[in-house]
Structure 1
């Protein structure tokens, strides 16, 4: 590794010659451990130009350090920190600096302490990871994603890679979403009505920031996506939690005071219920009657392998009342953090301005890579492969659940990647999850999804997107054994 010339600065008040100061700079760098053995120093010409001194001054400093075995010379390659250079002395770590700020008073707002739980970062090390929303490396098309990333690095895409779009997005990605992705959900939208986001969660945050104030009311499903509830709590709006049933959100229970209705009609989170068409029309009619907007999170529509997915709520909207949230993070990989908002041009204009003031835009290279992956057909091939795998895993999971006597509280009629489970009322699934971890099993406790002050403790979610089919029966048997059912 080469030592950057930018790390060298001359002190104006140094007592001594320029040669001595350069020697001291290098010696101190070695003794402090900043310059390590084998690292290459800048050439004498480059360092002299940077410091504004003569080249002979730098050369003499290097020669002196060479004689003292701080440096070594390798022919025409240059000067390097010697393997025999003095070892940096070991110092006791400095005592922590005393923080004299009263942060309980200094913080204007707090964002910690929400409901969103921490998920195990080492989930792949568990033999039975019934985790939701992670990527199975055996299914992901890494080779073609890499080729698309390399293509996006080419000279042809130099502008897409390096340009500051400010508040705009990659036109190729927006065009693909408008012409291919949205029509599959029955949605027709112009580029001016589409905004790329850093995943669905970022899209929900943008929508909440624009549509809600402390005086407005958001209607949400109960249970619901816990991160959405954190977002709404941060916006300080009023929250009205509506208990869902086997068909999802019931419009008849939504208060007339609701200003914005958040819903997951195609695949309710986390119960996986699908809202039937008559209820979708009723929801739109109720929203029209109370003059409310609807934010539709269509987070897992691609995972419909049992039957064709129902049309999106947005496709039934004739008034611009529905704001649609989509995501590639679920179908490609969660680390991609790429989603999109679809809404009326007036709303997207504000969303674009808000996004620009916070992050400007998602990285151009990521957008162009995704555009290539989508347009070249790799995305559709990947989705087909994932659907086939999930269909097979779901069948194995269902058989195992029936065999070991576990109780399903919700399972998607069109597919999906998880089962919403219910244990006996006396079971605390948080405690159950901790016990199962020591047995190599990961499950997701269900209480963070509920808005109730005393949420039920006996629900849990079992994802099957990240566990091979052959391990599912044994994993389910261990859960049943921990529950005392077998």
Structure 2
């Protein structure tokens, strides 16, 4: 390269590694990055569109369009017969801001935050993944959509329709404490009736995923005097949300049929996952559901029902939601509508008596006002066009196939590891032999490229050692399941050798 300035432009305008963005957008991002970093100062002349296209291997139309957008937005200025320059108003972020001086009299003393923080969850056991978990070959964990199943065209269509000028007035205003009426209507007429639940609009509130639903309910219903019955093992994210209010924990035993209802003592609240018990995947029988509601009436407690993955049923007709059997308004129902698409979409909802929903709306308004109205509008369209149902059918077929593949591989390579086939969902709860500590196995498995969810995080008081773990199948490609189980079996063999060596040394 003969001209040293060409090398400079090539280095400055290195396009960001975002292949999903059009080349025009990537070039625009590169120019804005250099301006905001101060490497392109006000008045700097940029290469002509012809020269920059040649240097970067782009079409001249691409460069011209990017330049024009940057001129329109005030980053660049076009001077007739002179060229393209960095605009005088395009100030670099942070340039000209002088760091504050330390006051005279010695160094400033930083506050000690530990005694100031009144509620902390640092150190709380929960589901977690390594920072670069996607780099592992066999991620049997929750947290990623399946690009082969994601309904890209259907969801894009709904987002594009939402961005149409005629739709802007429907979702751009501030909704204050309210939600998008179209989404509420889709929930109460299309989604909830499939679970046997019929609700009025004033009995539904949209949340930023089920997680915010737990947080709102904790703020409204829990304090240090509240007796909270919680499944053991149970869902750690809900437990940690509730733990911030420091209730009086009462563990509720879980067996192969879900929570054991006839052992429930005097309580104020009970949290259950009846459709797919988290993490064991057991389904609460109709008989136990009826008994739980009778106990709630007799003992005067309220039930929070987390109906996650209720639509992910492989065969037959699902058991109606606990809420559908509720005749006295004692069940608070929590659902998630976007989890089947991608965890990051974060759309959930609560169905509860209108007085409680009114309280929750005011609590939500203090924190986030309301979930994204754009996303609510787009998902209402997605539901109204039938995309949700068709995607659920595809997803169920795929998860059924994955569960079957994982079950076959476990039986073949780890025959002494026990599990029950679930009626639906995307997980297997595995009981290893008693000598296995699942937390130690999880560390060993990482060295073989395998990620699993050790069972101790699901317990308030985990057995030691805890031999249970969960295999989540929503984030792993189907052709990686069997090789992943085989790699896990090698990790088990290595762990067995290490345990025997420790026993030999101790003996």
Same fold by TM (over 0.5)?
yes
Q: What's 2:134 paired with? A: 124
Q: Does 1:286 align with 2:295?
A: yes
Q: Which of 163, 171, 180 is 1:153 aligned to?
A: 163
Q: Does 1:375 align with 2:380?
A: no
Q: 1:124: Cα distance to partner? A: 2.9
Q: Which moved more, 1:269-278 or 1:306-315?
A: 306-315
CA separation in 1, counterparts of 2:202 and 2:465?
A: 43
Q: Which of 79, 100, 115 is 1:105 aligned to?
A: 115
Q: How many residues are treated as equivalent by the alignment?
A: 418
Q: 1:462: Cα distance to partner? A: 0.6
Q: TM-score normalised to the size of structure 2?
A: 0.77
CA separation in 2, counterparts of 1:478 and 1:371?
A: 42
**Closer, same or farther in 2 for the Cα pair 1:455/1:315, shift >3 Å?**
farther
Aligned with 1:325: secondary structure? strand
CA separation in 1, counterparts of 2:315 and 2:438?
A: 29
Q: What's 2:80 paired with? A: 75
Q: 1:440: Cα distance to partner? A: 1.7
CA separation in 1, counterparts of 2:459 and 2:329?
A: 30
CA separation in 2, counterparts of 1:250 and 1:267?
A: 15
CA separation in 2, counterparts of 1:224 and 1:347?
A: 25
Q: Which of 321, 328, 331 is 1:322 aligned to?
A: 331
Aligned with 2:86: secondary structure? strand
Higher Cα radius of gyration: 1
Q: TM-score normalised to the size of structure 1?
A: 0.80
Q: Does 1:260 align with 2:269?
A: yes
Q: What's 1:189 paired with? A: 199
**Closer, same or farther in 2 for the Cα pair 1:298/1:99, shift >3 Å?**
farther
**Aligned counterparts, 1:74-93, within 5 A:** 74-75=79-80, 79-80=85-86
Q: What's 2:255 paired with? A: 245
Q: Does 1:36 align with 2:42?
A: no
Aligned with 2:255: secondary structure? coil
Q: Which of 167, 170, 176 is 2:177 aligned to?
A: 167
**Closer, same or farther in 2 for the Cα pair 1:143/1:73, shift >3 Å?**
closer
Q: 1:105: Cα distance to partner? A: 2.5
Q: 1:360: Cα distance to partner? A: 0.6
Q: 1:36: Cα distance to partner? A: 2.9
CA separation in 1, counterparts of 2:202 and 2:452?
A: 42
Q: 1:483: Cα distance to partner? A: 1.3
CA separation in 2, counterparts of 1:440 and 1:40?
A: 52
Deviations 1:73-132 (A, max 9, x none): 8436664279xxxxxx9xxx9999965212223223323222223223433332211112
Q: What's 2:281 paired with? A: 272
Q: What's 2:414 paired with? A: 405
**Closer, same or farther in 2 for the Cα pair 1:456/1:206, shift >3 Å?**
farther
Q: 1:381: Cα distance to partner? A: 1.4
Aligned with 1:103: secondary structure? coil
Contact 1:144 1:373 in 2 (8 A): yes
Contact 1:72 1:80 in 2 (8 A): yes
Contact 2:125 2:236 in 1 (8 A): yes
Q: What's 1:12 paired with? A: none
Q: 1:282: Cα distance to partner? A: 0.4
Aligned with 2:448: secondary structure? coil
CA separation in 2, counterparts of 1:33 and 1:176?
A: 44
Q: What's 1:427 paired with? A: 436
CA separation in 2, counterparts of 1:405 and 1:422?
A: 11
Q: What's 1:416 paired with? A: 425
CA separation in 2, counterparts of 1:409 and 1:40?
A: 70
Q: 1:243: Cα distance to partner? A: 1.8
Q: What's 1:478 paired with? A: 487
Q: 1:407: Cα distance to partner? A: 5.1
